[in-house]
Amino acid sequence: MPTRGHGSRAGLALTLTLALLGLAMLLPAAARGQVPASPTRTRLALPWLAAGAEPLLRTQALDTAVTVTVLAAARWQDAGVDVQAGRALTIEQVGGSWTYWLGVMPPHGAEGGIAVAGSAEPLPGGPKGALIGAFGREPPFVIGKGEIERLSPRAGGLYLRMNDADAALADNRGAVTVGFVIDRRTYTATVQAADTWQFSGQVVEAGSAVTFGPARGRWNLWHPRLEDHGPEGSPELAGPSEPLPGQAKGSLIGRIAGGPPFPIGAARELRPDREGRLELRMNDSDGALHDNAGQVEVRIAR
């Protein structure tokens, strides 16, 4: 039976192809840090330059399916994404096989072998040879082959590796592919028709995409004389006494940090030019709110 030492041994040599050099030009806009205009998920593959090296590119794309390859014989490998605090990492699929002891342990999947990791492994007590992850310098967690969702406690990169001791990586072989999504944070705010500006519960960042919608519900800007309508408002245009003249009267509107109002209606996406509290209301004059009725709910994704 061969013994598995923990001395210094040469790592695996990785060979880059010429096609890799042109990859950045072929990737979609989401890979360059832009949030897709539609909620449709795209797919992005991030290859490794070398064990322990920075990947070719980084992305903050949200609602984008990312696929990375994790090498068995490498230490912590940067997944190429920056995760903001509170965002959810959803592992959608894990494939491939690897082994943590070539010639002794048959290849296995990302769930790991039958042994339990000891004190030398990054995650003691976890499955030896399993796929594990970590947000920045936070404690590692088991990913394995199961579908999991995990919230990032603070902003930072996502790192992946096999749960095996650093000094014992040289006799590892194989790789697994990991497909995951960094989900945008979503909230629901309820807006009353008869109130002035109402705090949505969200403080938004300048330049960071905010998506409103769908907004649902019925409200009325002159109860009971007019029929209820939705957040898109009535056909009548608001006059000079309304917060947002020229827009549909009774429509859903918003403002940030007390700044100029902007239309929302049933749905819209914007990139605020300022940071601050997000407030919402019906587009109706303050002096006419007393005869309003109803409410709408709007989904807010950041």
Please work out, in degrees rounded to the nearest 5, the angle formed at the alpha carbon of residue 94 by the alpha carbons of 88 and 96.
155
Convert the pLDDT of each residue in 212-230 to its tens digit. Answer: 999 999 999 998 888 999 9
CA separation for the pair 93, 208 (Å, rounded)? 28
Let me know: does 66 contact 79? Beta carbons within 8 Å: yes
Task: Please report which residue ranges of the chain form alpha helices under DSSP H.
Answer: 18-21, 23-26
Domain with CATH 2.60.120.430 in the chain: 18-183, 186-301
CA separation for the pair 202, 231 (Å, rounded)? 19
Kindly report the average pLDDT of the chain as a whole number. 80
CA separation for the pair 153, 30 (Å, rounded)? 24
Convert the pLDDT of each residue in 149-187 to its tens digit. Answer: 888 888 788 999 999 999 999 999 999 999 998 877 778
Going by pLDDT thresholds of 50, 70 and 90, the confidence category of residue 63 is: low
| CA dist 11 → 98, 244, 293 (Å) | 15, 64, 69
CATH architecture entry for 18-183: Sandwich (2.60)
Convert the pLDDT of each residue in 123-143 to its tens digit. Answer: 999 999 999 999 988 999 999
Q: Which two tokens stand for residue 57?
A: 């590119």
**Neighbour tally for 89: CB within 10 Å:** 21
Let me know: does 282 contact 216? Beta carbons within 8 Å: no
Rounded (10°) CA dihedral 8, 12, 13, 17 = -160
Long-range residue pairs from 9-12, CB within 8 A, at least 24 positions apart, any chain: 9/170, 9/171, 10/170, 11/51, 11/73, 11/74, 11/169, 11/170, 12/51, 12/71, 12/73, 12/74, 12/170
**Neighbour tally for 155: CB within 10 Å:** 13
Collapse the DSSP code of 286 into the 3-class scheme (helix H, G, I; strand E, B; otherwise coil) and give the result: helix
For domain 186-301, give its CATH number from 3.40.50.1000, 2.60.120.430, 2.40.110.10, 3.40.50.2300: 2.60.120.430
Q: Burial level of 170, CB count in 10 A (0-12/13-18/19+)?
A: middle
pLDDT at residue 61, rounded to an integer: 52
**Above pLDDT 90, what percent of the chain?**
55
**Neighbour tally for 29: CB within 10 Å:** 12
